[in-house]
Structure formats: C-alpha cells, structure tokens
C-alpha cells in the first residue's frame, strides 16, 4: 500500500504541494485529478524519487521512500511512466522494453518476461526491431506501459496516459489498466486530465487543487459530487 | 606524386590517433554533455607513468596495459570528484573545471616527472616499409597504430550495440531521467563513461609518444585536432569520431605538407569554422530541437 | 446542472500612500555617497584611483613601479575578458592571442616605420579590435564548449604565423621595442608605468560606462538567456560581436603595453598558457567584475615570484618551481568554480553586504555601489540546465 502523509514539496520559492495525504490500497486504481498546474505530476515525481520533498512522508509497503534514490525506489517494485511517456526514440522497441528488465532478471527470465509483454501488445511484437521514433502516440503509450510492466512492478504510477490519444485508444488503454490491476493485484496511481475515463476505472479518487487535497474518497462519490466536478474538474 | 602518397598515409595514421582521442571526447559528451578539455593532459599523464615504468625495464606490454588501467582509474576518479558535484549547475562551469584540470595535470607532470624532453621507445620499428625500390612513409609502427585504433573502434561498437551495459550507457546518454526510472544507475554509468574515455586517451598517448618529442605539452595539439575531428563528426557520434578523425588527419597532413607545418593549427581552425558554419551541431549529430 | 458558485467578494484596498524608505546602509552617511550619474561616478573614482597610484608609484622604487605597471597591464586584459566571459557569457581562450596581435603590431610598426608611439599603440588596439570583429562574427553561432574550443585553436595557431614568416616577425628572438622617452628627469620606468596606469584607468572607466549602459544590459541579457533576449528585441549577434571586439581591443592594448614593458616581442610570451592564466585570473578576481580584474592582475603578476620562493623554501627543486604556477592556477580554476564561483570580488561583496547590514540594519540604498552594480556575476551564469524538477516542456504537455 502506498501511504502519502502530509507531503509538502516546493521548487525554490514556489510551493507545489501542501500537506498532501492519501493512500492507495493494493490492487486498486486510484485516480489523481485536478486542473493544470495543480501539482499532480509533482506528486508522482516525488513518490518515484525524482523530486525531493520538504516535509512529510511517503512510504510503500511500510518502507520509507523519502530519501531513497530513484534507482533504489524502482527496485522496491515501483514503476513510473512519466509525463510525455519517456519513450527513448533513439532505441528500438525491443531495447526500450529490455531496458526495464536489466536490473532484475537474468537472460532466461528476461526472454519470458518480454514474451509476456509482447503477448499483451501484439502491435509492438510485429515491430520489435524498429526505432521507437516510428511509433504513433497510442503505440508509444503501449510501449511505455509495457516497459514499466517489464520489471514486474507492484506499484504503477501513470502520468496522463491518455494525453494526445484518440478516444478509442484511450478506452483501450484504460481497459487494459483496469484488467491489470484486477488480474495481477497491481496497485495503480493514475494521474489524469481525462476525468471521465479515469473515474470509470478507478476505485478511489483524489482531487488536488493548487497543491492541496480537496477530497480523497471513492471514485463513485467523487463522480456523483456535481459541485465538486464543476469547481475543480471542469465539467 | 610520392609526396602526395606519403602525406596521405601520414594523414591516415594521424587521423586514426585523432579519432581515438575524439572517441574519448564523444564518450564524455554523450554521458555528461561536457567537452573534456583535459582529455589530452590525462593521456599525457598516463603516458608519463608508462615511460617511467619503461625506464625501469618493465616489459612493454605490461606497461601498455598498466597505462590503460591507469587511465581507467583516473577517468573514473575525476568524474566522481570533480564533475559529479557540478551536475546540473551553470552549463559552463564544468568546461572551466576541465581547463583547470588541463593545466593542473601539466604542472603536476612537469613537477613529478621533470620538464626535459624524454624519448618514448616505439613498440615496433618506425622505419618505412619498402616495396621494391621505394620506401613509403608507413612503418610497422604505423600498422600497429591502425590496428590498435580499429580494435578500439570495434570494441566500442560491440560494447554499445551488443551488450547490456552498452544499452544502459546509450539510454543514460539519450534520456537520463527515464533511464533512472527504469532502474539504470545513471551515476555509475557516467563514471564508467569517463573511465572508458580516459582509456581511449591513454591508448592515443601511447601511440603518439614515440613519434614526437615527449614533454608535458605533447598532447596539446593532438587534443585540439581531436576536438576538431569530434566536432566535424558530431560530438555525440562514435562513428563521426572516426570519420572526423580521418578527414581532419588528411586535411592537416596536406596543409602541413604543401603549406608548411606552422599553419596546421590554423588549418584546423578553418575546418572547424567551415563545419560549424554549415552545421553547428557537427556532421553526424542529431539536431536537437530548441525548446523555448 | 447546479448554479456556478459565486466568487466571494474581494475587500476594497485603500491607497496606503507613498511608502517611506527607512535610511539604510550607506545612505545613513549622505556625505559618503557617490554621484548618481554613472559617468560622473566613474570619473570621480578614476581620478581618485589615479591620484592614489601617483602617490604609490612616487613612494616606491622604480623597480616596483614596473610591477605596478604590469598589474595595470594585466588588469586591462582581464577587464576585457571579464566583460566577454563574465558579463556576456562567451568563454574565450583567445585573449592571449589578441594580446599577441597588439604586441606584434606595435613591434612591427616600431621596427619598420617611424610613426609616433601613440599611433603605434592606437594601431595595436585597432588591429586587435578588427581581428576580434572578424573572429567574433562566426563565434556568435557557437555555443559555450564549441567557442572555447575554437578560441583554443586560435590561441595555439595565431602565434604560429609569426613563426612561419619569421623574417618579418623577428623569428625566435622577436622584435625589439623601445620604451617611450619620458619628459624631463622622470625615471623612464616610472614614466612607462604611469602611462600603463592611466591607460588602465581610462579603459576601466570606459568599460564601467559600457557595463552600466544599455549595452551592458544587453550583454547580461544575452548571457542569461539568448532566446529570450532575442525575443525581447535585442540583436543577439551584434551584442556578442561587440563584446568580442571590445575584449580583443583591450587585449591588444595590454599586449602593446606588455611589449613596451618587456622591451621585446616574441611568441614565447603569448602561448596557450597565457590565455588560460588570464582565465584563471579572471575567475579568481571575480568574473564580470571590473574591480576583480585588479585582484586577478595582482595574483598574475606576483605568482611567478611566489611559486619560486615557495619551491625554494620547501626545497622542492627547480622542476617544481617552474611548474608550481601551472598547478596553482589549475587548482584555482577548479576550486574557485566549485566552491566560490564569484571569486575574490564576490567574497568581498558578500562581506561588504554583511558589514553594511550590520551597520545600517537593512539593504544598502540604491546609491551605494553594491557588488551587483559593479557587475559582479558568477562565472558561467549562462543558461543553466533547468533542474530536473521543472523540465522544459512542450506547451502541449502541460499538466
């Protein structure tokens, strides 16, 4: 379980997060919602260790994450797909996927893990040796998620997976995320601007505005609260 | 005509040496986005270590290996101590640090090993090879130079394309933050990059030393020409280092042969200006989009 | 769809009137304040400095006048470099080469013509400035490391022209240069050092005015963010070329003076090491600071003497003595950049601000010369790589 407690983060003089508190339970999808600049990306980056916090705690499965390096946080089973996907264009699809497996698996296991990912994303399998720069937006998202999954994480942090994707592709990806969470007990924290899609697959929802948590409740309650939706979510 | 042939052969041999040093510059640029102006001085220092060992009559090949290892260690230590603390700060500070290191190493070498010109014995005969009645400006030692640099280049190719470490290094160079999120220990990769770059430089130093009067400045011009080679080829391309090296080596050989050796540095300057005017990022590099 | 909640009313703010500024720092002592207009202020400072130097040089022996003159000469070269690298952010390793141009112009004109000294010196400034223009133009397209590399080759290559055409340029021995004859019974060494000091003060006044003018602001703007500066209407290329030309002209003057001091002009004086020493002197004194140029110059002039005496007193041998300067300057460049990028002047400025805040109980008044106004900038205040927390983003990908 991911436990974020009273987390405050600032970039120099700018306070990005004030006392953010919420939990993400094992095997659930938690949607993190809010307007542009609310601090959602900062939240994920702090959990994965890219950004240092000023105060507060982040712990996963009882292990304190604050103060650990990014590489060590990854080794705890936490995978972060950053904003913009972070597909490495100069590498091939296969190399991108392999990269995620290097720290954990030996040659044999690696092959079988990669085969699993290719089964999940047949479009990627067809073009293994192509450069990642040749992929479309949706395919890149699949590559990014596949790469994040290739290390068999227990916690998956997704930053706006639907960005720039056609509605149909978005729906496919969301469905995939939901299925993964259910089948493999994967904990997912999903930052999204596409609130409807996110709420449709999430069990829990956290709404952030100007760095503060407005509400942390079940997705259903948040979806039903129309005033909240108007104020903070834009519809 | 034979002058032309000899200049060409000379140019190729020199070009390979420039390529080796340029390869080191490329490693460091790709890893840390720094131009290592002390690349030549580092090579000079390990070569001085080598000549000191040779003076004690230690076997040449052992000394050769020792110099390469010394380079490996030196490069790694320098990255950890001097470059790592400056990560992410003002872009030009590391450049100034490498310039400081440049003269620091020269001063240390002069202090420790003495200033007089020494001689470095070549591993193979430096007499020109003969074909029938004519002797060309290409000796056994030159063959050794070519072979050594080719092996270096092939080794680099294999490392980057066929090994997992190479994959990590490429990922760390192209997208360090993403690589970290995938568990790649980017810090260690950078240290390794500097260490390997220093090995390439050490090799070049060992290849150059027998051909020049050996003093703490002997790698200065080589560094400058290697920089030209790296820029011609694109600072982020190992293949470019090779091509750039050969282009630079040949051009400068012709300039030196037909116009006089004092004009070689200006020849390099001219090459640099021509390339940078046409493609400020070098011939082989990827033009980076400007983010505003 | 429920009604959009109303925005709570904002309470009206009444005009508080003009905000009283409490007297702080130097403004507590109005008689200490310097005139507001830059030109007057600089002229006043220059006159005070000239007077001070006059007293100093008259009091000490003529050999020491030579040293003071040398300091002035290096201060000129460092001030130019400081403008180019510290204020405008273009790192140049070619300052030594431009000094060579100035020196050789003087030498050649003295040897082959009978023009008055003033003309020779002006020609030295002019020719090195012109070369600075020629080099500076393609240099505008080069980013930091590439520019450093290009000027590195220049530093190595330019003196070689003198080797190639050695008959014209005096070969290994170089060209002899005659010191100017002083009027009356003034000691020639002292006369020369006065000329050099006056030259330095004039140059520094001009550079100080330049730095405070809109050109200075353009220099800094281009240094801090070239793209933003261009978008704000600054002609980036012209600004960079101007800085380059000014720096080269300063170097040319310094080179000419150096020729006069030493009495001979040859390539040995103007090696690559000189350019790196100048860089070290600038970094140590404080990049972008005109006062810092004097600190750097003092170190440059006294360092050879210090290193030999240190080597001697520790019995380190002659090899060490000759190379100690290299080691020290190398360490200076490394340590200063890593620990105190603002150099000596930055340290003094910091101490000064602390002292003033203790005395005046607040921020120094605008009239007082703060280090910021002196143009003290950290070396390499050039577009920095943004910290990982706030990556440059495509506008599309705002979160």
Residue B118: per-residue pLDDT: 77
DSSP-assigned letters across all residues of C215-252: HHHHHHHHHH-HHHHHHTT--HHHHHHHHHHHHHHHHH
Per CB-CB distance under 8 Å, the chain A contacts of B174 are: 88-91
Name which residue leads in pLDDT, A102 or B133: A102
Q: List, in sequence order, the alpha helices (H) in A82-166.
A: 93-101, 107-120, 122-126, 137-149
ipTM score of the complex?
A: 0.90
**Cross-chain Cβ contact C2/A227 below 8 Å:** yes
Q: How far apart are the C-alpha atoms of B233 and B284, rounded to whole Å?
A: 5
Of A76-80, A193-197, A230-234, C162-166, the poorest mean pLDDT is in A230-234
Per CB-CB distance under 8 Å, the chain B contacts of A48 are: 181
Residue C7: per-residue pLDDT: 57
Contact C164, B263 (CB under 8 A): yes
B168 in A contact zone (CB under 8 Å)? yes
Q: Which residue in chain B is spatially nearest to C386 when comparing CA positions?
A: B88
DSSP at C37: S
CB pairs under 8 A between A and C: 36
**Cross-chain Cβ contact C389/A50 below 8 Å:** yes
C278 in B contact zone (CB under 8 Å)? no
CB pairs under 8 A between A and B: 62
B287 in C contact zone (CB under 8 Å)? no
CATH number at residue B68: 1.10.3470
Per CB-CB distance under 8 Å, the chain C contacts of B41 are: none
**Cross-chain Cβ contact B115/C341 below 8 Å:** no
Residue B236 lies in a domain: yes
pLDDT tens string B176-216: 899 999 999 999 999 999 999 999 999 999 999 888 878 88
For residue C267, give how far its alpha carbon lies from the nearest alpha carbon of chain B (Å).
Answer: 13
Closest CA to C63 of C325, C295, C305, C322: C305
Residue B59: per-residue pLDDT: 87
Q: How far apart are the C-alpha atoms of C87 and C224, rounded to whole Å?
A: 9
Residue B42: per-residue pLDDT: 95
Residue C249: per-residue pLDDT: 96
pLDDT in single tens digits along all 399 residues of chain C:
445 555 555 555 666 656 665 555 555 555 556 666 777 778 888 888 888 887 777 777 777 788 888 999 999 999 999 999 988 888 899 999 999 999 999 988 888 888 888 888 999 999 999 999 999 988 888 888 888 889 999 998 888 888 878 777 777 777 888 777 777 777 778 888 888 999 999 999 899 888 888 888 888 888 888 888 888 888 888 999 999 999 999 999 999 999 998 888 888 888 888 999 999 999 888 888 888 899 999 999 988 888 878 877 877 776 777 788 888 899 988 988 888 777 777 777 777 788 777 765 544 444 333 333 333 444 443 333 333 333 333 333 333
For residue A79, give how far its alpha carbon lies from the nearest alpha carbon of chain B (Å).
Answer: 7
Domains in chain A, ordered, with CATH?
Answer: 2-85+154-233 (3.40.50.300)
Work out whether the CA dihedral C21, C22, C24, C29 comes out positive or negative: positive
| Residue B40 token pair | 């030549």
| Residue A203 token pair | 């069990």
Q: Does residue B151 surpass a pLDDT of 90?
A: yes
Q: How far apart are the C-alpha atoms of C344 and C82, rounded to whole Å?
A: 13
Residue C20: per-residue pLDDT: 62
Where along chain C do its domains lie?
35-378
pLDDT tens string B35-80: 899 999 999 999 999 988 888 888 888 999 999 999 999 999 999 9
Residue B121 lies in a domain: no
DSSP-assigned letters across all residues of C311-351: HHHTT--HHHHHHHHHHHHHHHHHHHHHH-TTHHHHHHHHH
Q: Does residue A63 surpass a pLDDT of 80?
A: yes
Residue B288 lies in a domain: no
Domain count, chain B: 1
Rounded-to-5 percentages of helix, strand, coil across chain A:
40, 25, 30
Residue C95: per-residue pLDDT: 94
A147 in B contact zone (CB under 8 Å)? yes
Per CB-CB distance under 8 Å, the chain C contacts of B266 are: 153, 157-158, 160-161
Q: Which CATH class is domain C35-378?
A: mainly alpha
- Indicate the SS3 state at residue C256: helix
| Region B1-19 average pLDDT | 89
**Cross-chain Cβ contact C399/A230 below 8 Å:** no
Domain range spanning residue B180?
A: 2-112+137-278
| Residue C14 token pair | 């009444």
Which CA distances in Å does A50 have to A143, A185, C44, C178? Answer: 21, 25, 53, 65
Q: Which residue has the tokens 């790709």?
A: B30
DSSP at C264: E
Cα first-last separation, chain C: 27
pLDDT tens string A201-213: 999 999 988 888 8
Distance of CA C231 to the CA centre of its chain: 28
Q: How far apart are the C-alpha atoms of C183 and C185, rounded to whole Å?
A: 7
Residue B86 lies in a domain: yes
For residue B23, give how far its alpha carbon lies from the nearest alpha carbon of chain A (Å).
Answer: 19
Percentage of chain A lying above the pLDDT 70 cut = 100
Maximum Cα–Cα distance across chain A? 54
Q: List, in sequence order, the alpha helices (H) in chain A.
A: 40-48, 70-74, 93-101, 107-120, 122-126, 137-149, 167-184, 195-201, 219-224, 226-228
Q: What angle do CA B18, B23, B24 make, to 5 degrees?
A: 105
Contact B36, B258 (CB under 8 A): no
Q: Does residue B289 surpass a pLDDT of 70?
A: no
User: Which pLDDT band, with edges at 50, 70 and 90, does A189 fall under?
Assistant: very high
| Residue B107 token pair | 């001063």
C389 in A contact zone (CB under 8 Å)? yes
Distance of CA B205 to the CA centre of its chain: 8
**Cross-chain Cβ contact C319/B99 below 8 Å:** no
Per CB-CB distance under 8 Å, the chain B contacts of A102 are: 164, 167-168, 182-184
C236 in B contact zone (CB under 8 Å)? no
C395 in B contact zone (CB under 8 Å)? no
């Amino acid at each position: 379980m991911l436990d974020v407690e009273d987390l405050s983060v600032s970039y120099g003089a700018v306070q990005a997060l004030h006392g953010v508190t919420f939990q993400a339970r094992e095997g659930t999808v938690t949607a993190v919602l809010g307007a542009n600049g609310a601090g959602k990306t900062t939240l994920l980056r702090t959990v994965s260790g890219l950004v240092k916090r000023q105060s507060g705690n982040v712990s996963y499965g009882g292990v304190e994450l604050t103060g650990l390096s990014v590489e060590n946080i990854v080794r705890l089973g936490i995978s972060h797909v950053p904003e913009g996907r972070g597909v490495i264009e100069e590498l091939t699809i296969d190399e991108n996927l392999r990269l995620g497996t290097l720290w954990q698996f030996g040659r044999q296991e690696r092959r079988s893990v990669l085969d699993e990912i290719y089964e999940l994303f047949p479009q990627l399998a067809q073009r293994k040796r192509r450069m990642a720069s040749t992929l479309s937006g949706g395919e890149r998202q699949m590559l990014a998620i596949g790469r994040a999954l290739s290390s068999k994480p227990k916690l998956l942090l997704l930053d706006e997976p639907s960005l720039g994707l056609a509605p149909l592709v978005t729906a496919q990806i969301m469905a995939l995320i939901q299925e993964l969470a259910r089948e493999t007990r994967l904990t997912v924290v999903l930052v999204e601007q596409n609130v409807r899609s996110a709420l449709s697959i999430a069990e829990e929802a956290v709404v952030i505005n100007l760095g503060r948590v407005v509400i942390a409740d079940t997705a259903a309650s948040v979806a039903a609260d129309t005033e909240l939706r108007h104020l903070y979510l834009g519809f | 005509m034979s002058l032309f042939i000899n200049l060409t052969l000379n140019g190729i041999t020199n070009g390979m040496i420039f390529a080796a040093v340029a390869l080191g510059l490329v490693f460091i640029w790709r890893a840390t986005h720094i131009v290592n102006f002390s690349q030549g001085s580092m090579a000079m220092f390990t070569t001085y270590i080598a000549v000191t060992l040779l003076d004690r009559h230690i076997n040449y090949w052992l000394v050769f290996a020792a110099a390469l290892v010394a380079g490996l260690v030196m490069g790694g230590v320098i990255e950890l101590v001097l470059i790592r603390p400056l990560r992410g700060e003002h872009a030009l500070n590391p450049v100034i640090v490498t310039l400081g290191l440049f003269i620091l190493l020269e001063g240390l070498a002069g202090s420790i090993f003495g200033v007089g010109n020494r001689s470095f014995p070549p591993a193979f005969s430096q007499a020109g090879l003969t074909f029938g009645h004519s002797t060309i400006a290409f000796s056994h030692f030159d063959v050794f130079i070519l072979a050594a640099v080719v092996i270096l280049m092939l080794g680099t190719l294999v490392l980057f394309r066929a090994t997992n470490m190479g994959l990590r290094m490429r990922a760390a160079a192209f997208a360090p933050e993403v690589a970290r999120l995938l568990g790649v220990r980017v810090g260690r990769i950078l240290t390794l990059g500097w260490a390997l770059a220093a090995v390439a430089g050490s090799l070049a130093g060992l290849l150059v030393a027998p051909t020049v009067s050996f003093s703490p400045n002997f790698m200065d011009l080589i560094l400058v020409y290697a920089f030209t080679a790296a820029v011609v080829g694109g600072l982020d391309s190992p293949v470019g280092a090779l091509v750039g090296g050969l282009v630079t080596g040949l051009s400068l050989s012709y300039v030196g042969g037909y116009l006089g050796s004092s004009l070689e540095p200006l020849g390099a300057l001219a090459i640099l200006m021509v390339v940078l005017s046409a493609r400020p990022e070098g011939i082989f590099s990827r033009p980076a989009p400007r983010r505003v | 769809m429920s009604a959009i909640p109303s925005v709570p009313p904002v309470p009206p703010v009444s005009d508080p009137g003009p905000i009283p500024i409490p007297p702080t720092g130097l403004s507590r002592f109005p008689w200490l304040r310097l005139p507001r207009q830059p030109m007057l202020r600089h002229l006043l400072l220059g006159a005070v400095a000239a007077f001070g130097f006059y007293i100093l040089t008259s009091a000490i022996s003529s050999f020491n006048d030579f040293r003071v003159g040398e300091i002035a000469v290096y201060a000129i070269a460092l001030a130019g470099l400081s403008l180019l690298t510290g204020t405008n952010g273009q790192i140049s390793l070619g300052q030594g080469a431009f000094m060579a141009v100035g020196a050789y112009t003087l030498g050649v004109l003295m040897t082959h013509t009978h023009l008055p000294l003033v003309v020779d010196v002006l020609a030295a400034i002019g020719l090195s400035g012109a070369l600075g223009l020629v080099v500076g133009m393609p240099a505008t397209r080069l980013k930091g490391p590439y520019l450093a590399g290009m000027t590195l080759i220049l530093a190595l290559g330019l003196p070689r022209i003198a080797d190639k055409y050695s008959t014209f340029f005096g070969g290994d021995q170089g060209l002899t240069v005659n010191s100017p004859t002083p009027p009356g019974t003034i000691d020639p060494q002292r006369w020369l050092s006065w000329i050099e000091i006056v030259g330095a003060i004039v140059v520094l006044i001009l550079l100080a005015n330049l730095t405070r003018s809109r050109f200075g602001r353009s220099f800094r703007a281009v240094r801090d963010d070239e793209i933003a500066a261009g978008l704000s209407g600054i002609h980036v290329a012209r600004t960079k070329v101007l800085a380059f030309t000014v720096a080269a002209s300063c170097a040319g003057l310094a080179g000419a003076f150096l020729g006069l001091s030493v009495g001979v002009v040859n390539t040995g004086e103007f090696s690559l090491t000189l350019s790196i020493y100048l860089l070290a002197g600038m970094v140590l004194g404080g990049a972008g600071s005109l006062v810092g140029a004097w600190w750097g110059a003092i170190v440059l002039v006294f360092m050879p003497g210090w290193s030999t005496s240190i080597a001697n007193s520790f019995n380190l041998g002659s090899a060490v003595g000759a190379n100690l300067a290299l080691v020290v300057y190398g360490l200076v460049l490394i340590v200063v950049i890593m620990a105190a990028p603002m150099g000596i002047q930055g340290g003094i400025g910091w101490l000064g601000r602390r002292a003033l805040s203790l005395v005046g109980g607040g921020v120094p008044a605008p009239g007082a010369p703060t280090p910021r106004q002196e143009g003290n900038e950290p070396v390499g205040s050039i577009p920095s790589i943004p910290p990982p927390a706030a990556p440059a983003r495509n506008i599309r990908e705002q979160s």
